[in-house]
A and B are shown apart, each in its own frame.
Chain A
């Protein structure tokens, strides 16, 4: 069969067997000034560890730029470059294209180098979605786009994004005397959209670093498989979600165990529910009520019981009515969506 595109070799990145087998070297170290309990900073650390030293990392504007990379006190040990808010896709593509052609022409040493571009949910699910989508169609360029989703434009003072959950209190959706629910849009299904819309993309996954080994091994798989890949990470953010920083880890667990955040991967078109989500789907464990997750966060403190019930019903819907539960929201039957009045 004729091959029309040339995919360059990637690094061999076998899964880490256990936490105890992780390398000690850190490639994202001190020097940053993120909030206490910032899970996105943890994602950066784990991502860099999973990728290793022969990597180039590009980072969109957002907390993980502004709070991580101060002049003269960068936290990055590997080469790192800022990219514009909506440019994670273009940054991955341009970097990967340069490496490819310079190696082909013998202008730099030929070796597999990981290219990772990260973006927040504002940069990824809103502004940069077009560029990410384009990059996922360029099958000959190896890269990973990692969207760290703290569910708001956090760096600019917590404004709602297309990835903010329904009803959440942000500085652009703060409840008032007449209107309780100012944010009436449902969260975008980014990973599902990327997986369904880009048949040449070999790997899409959702992760949450409360399950660190799972997250790191997803990243290694994404880098090793070749071509452009996408990972969507849900990151509890104490400032934006308004909870005590010591709860960050638990908050991630609750997101997964309540079924709000399904973990899965789509590898070469094959869908696999992973981690706790797989166990929920198999009926081995029961979903925790979303109430337990929502009421731990100040951003939902204004919710009435009706609001919580509505939220729960949408999550139930996702698990019971979606064509592929948790992943693809196509349905066989249509029912009216009736959100509570604000």
Chain B
């Protein structure tokens, strides 16, 4: 294990490094001058903490690096540090994330702008190291901003954006950056590492302002609210999440201006959608087999596009509905499950259908596909199978609303 190996001097002081998704986030933490970091072992996220350990040991990073005795404490420690004005970083995977659940619920409720990495992993039992998205999705209703990235570069950039948005006084909500276990956490790619000057220009210092817990600002944080006040307080969180879309857009625009890299629409990426008849959807590193399959299908004359959801919370429902209205049918590939949900679909599918339902304009049929659970690879033939079914639906032929793909018979 090594810290970022800089292979090439780039224009100005930017550098290019061959690093994994986890390492990219570690580098972002260093650039963001994070103050308090807590670690606890669970694969696959914990590589990020191994890299950070080395950065601290090598004197490249100055922070309190605390190894906790469990994930509940791990998240509680940084929650309290953040309340005192420290920029914090944390993370977990699978059942580790679940073990921290109580802390995860109070963090957004307390308006703590924690940034966390989720190395997405299947939940026990049975044990599995591979990716599934159910871990991070468990907090989708609680006020966490949730984003899925699909490359090491995007991981680094999104971590900087996450700090910027979360710590904006208009927001003060935590953000979890999901990186697919193994496919992203452990895969190396060339990453442009921005200069410290650019990061400083993009990312102001965390200012806890009127909410700072300090003897000079002797506030009482989270007294009992009950039916008198809890509803008004929930409404403030609602409003903060509502503002998050706007602040995210500002941050992406500034990111492009300062770093010279654009992500287009911050909320979702569109691939080969311009002339597409049908589109597939998904989150995270699914993009790799899907894009390869689309290139092959297009050679065979099939006009298939792909929409990769980046931000799951906030969910850009209106924009997504507008985009999807252009197509004849939509196939959503979920790397998660939601047993007993409407039509037994995965979580993303249900959200996409819900986004379309109330939108004006045309509503294409939405088929749900559950694939790649427990880290099983989603192959190019899998994707073609999905596309074929979506084509059938586009032609008006009845198709099951939920299908499991790549399942052993």
When the two chains form their complex, are residues A94 and B225 in contact, meaning their CB atoms are under 8 A apart?
no
| Listed stretches B63-71, B132-140, B351-359; interface member | B63-71
Residue contact A56 to B84, C-beta cutoff 8 Å:
yes
Q: Is the CB of A81 within 8 A of B102?
A: no
Q: Would you give the shortest CB distance from A70 to chain B, in whole angstroms?
A: 5
Check if B78 is an interface residue, CB within 8 A of chain A.
yes
A105, CB-defined interface residue at 8 Å = yes
State which of A54, A76, A100, A133 has its C-beta within 8 Å of the C-beta of B220.
Answer: A76
Residues of B within 8 A of A84 (CB): 72, 76, 102-103, 106
Q: How far is the CA of A77 from the CA of B219 in the complex (A)?
A: 8
- Shortest CB-to-CB span from A265 to chain B, Å, is 26
Least Cβ–Cβ distance between A47 and chain B, in angstroms: 16
**B73 to chain A: which residues have CB within 8 Å?**
87, 89-90, 93, 130-131, 134
Would you give the shortest CB distance from A157 to chain B, in whole angstroms? 17
Kindly identify, within residues 38 to 82 of chain A, every residue whose CB is under 8 Å from any CB belonging to chain B. Answer: 53-56, 58, 65-66, 69-72, 74, 76-82
CB of A90 within 8 A of CB of B80, answer: yes
Asked if residues A79 and B217 are in contact (CB atoms below 8 Å), the reply is: yes
Complex partner residue of B219 from A79, A86, A87, CB under 8 angstroms: A79
Nearest Cβ on chain B to A81's Cβ, whole angstroms: 4
Interchain CA distance A76-B83 in the complex, whole Å: 17
A69 touches B81 (CB 8 A): no
Q: Which residues of the partner chain B approach A104 to less than 8 Å between Cβ atoms? A: 62
Q: Is the CB of A107 within 8 A of B215?
A: no
Q: For residue B223, which residue of chain A has the nearest CB?
A: A69
Q: Which of A79, A90, A101 contacts B68 (CB 8 A)?
A: A90
Name the prevailing secondary structure of the A interface residues: mixed
Q: What residues of A have a CB within 8 angstroms of the CB of B76 in the complex?
A: 83-84, 87, 90-91, 94, 131
Nearest Cβ distance between residue A166 and chain B, in whole angstroms?
29
Question: Do residues A101 and B223 form an inter-chain contact, with CB atoms below 8 A?
Answer: no
Q: Is the pair A98, B85 in contact by a Cβ cutoff of 8 Å?
A: yes
Task: Report B197-232 residues with CB < 8 Å from chain A CB.
Answer: 205, 213-215, 217-226, 228-229
- List the A residue with the shortest CB-CB distance to B79: A94
Interface size on B, residues (CB 8 A): 41
| B86 in contact (CB, < 8 A) | yes
Most buried by A among B224, B225, B226: B224
Cβ-defined contact, A65 with B224, below 8 A: yes
Tell me whether B77 is interfacial, beta carbon within 8 Å: yes
Q: 1/0 per residue A89-115: CB within 8 Å of B?
A: 111011101111110110110000100
Cβ of A98 and Cβ of B80 under 8 Å apart?
yes
Residue from B86, B106, B223, B228 whose CB has the most chain A CB atoms within 10 Å:
B223
Cβ-Cβ contact count across A and B, 8 Å cutoff: 140
* CB nearest neighbor in B for A90: B76
A82 near B222: Cβ-Cβ < 8 Å: yes
Are A69 and B224 closer than 8 Å at their CB atoms? yes
Determine whether B36 belongs to the interface, using a CB cutoff of 8 Å to chain A. Answer: yes
Q: Are A105 and B35 in contact (CB under 8 A)?
A: yes
Q: Are B224 and A97 in contact (CB under 8 A)?
A: no
**Interface of B, helix, strand, loop or mixed by DSSP:** mixed
Whole-angstrom distance between the Cβ of B260 and the nearest chain A Cβ: 29
Given A74-B223, A91-B76, A94-B36, check contact A53 B69 (CB 8 Å). Answer: no
Q: Say if the beta carbon of A188 comes within 8 Å of chain B.
A: no
Q: What's the least CB distance linking A13 to chain B, in Å?
A: 15
Kindly state whether residue A180 has any CB partner on chain B within 8 Å: no
A302 at the interface (CB under 8 A from B): no
Q: A102-B85, A108-B85, A130-B69 are in contact. Are A97 and B77 (CB under 8 A)?
A: yes
Please, which residue of chain B has its CB at the minimum distance from the CB of A80? B220
Kindly list chain A residues whose C-beta atoms are within 8 Å of the C-beta of B63: 101
A138 within 8 A of B: yes
Query: How far, in Å, is A34 (CB) from chain B's closest CB?
Result: 13
Q: Which residues of B contact A65 (CB under 8 A)?
A: 224
Q: Are the C-beta atoms of A70 and B84 separated by less than 8 Å? A: no
Closest to A58 in B: B80
Which of chain A's residues have a CB closer than 8 A to the CB of B69?
A: 130-131, 133-134
Give the nearest-CB partner of A97 in chain B: B64
Chain A hits for B102, CB < 8 A = 84
Most buried by B among A71, A83, A89, A133: A71
Q: Which residue of B lies closest to A54 (CB)?
A: B215
Q: Known interface pairs A71-B225, A105-B35. Does A81 touch B80 (Cβ–Cβ under 8 Å)?
A: yes
Q: Which 6 residue pairs spanning A and B have beta carbons closest together?
A: A94-B80, A90-B76, A98-B84, A98-B81, A74-B220, A94-B77
A-B contact pairs, 10 of them (CB 8 A): A69-B224, A79-B218, A79-B219, A81-B213, A83-B80, A87-B76, A97-B86, A101-B86, A131-B73, A138-B66
B interface vs A, CB < 8 Å? 35-36, 62-64, 66, 68-70, 72-73, 76-86, 102-103, 106, 205, 213-215, 217-226, 228-229
Q: Chain A: residues with CB nearer than 8 A to chain B?
A: 53-56, 58, 65-66, 69-72, 74, 76-84, 86-87, 89-91, 93-95, 97-102, 104-105, 107-108, 113, 130-131, 133-134, 138
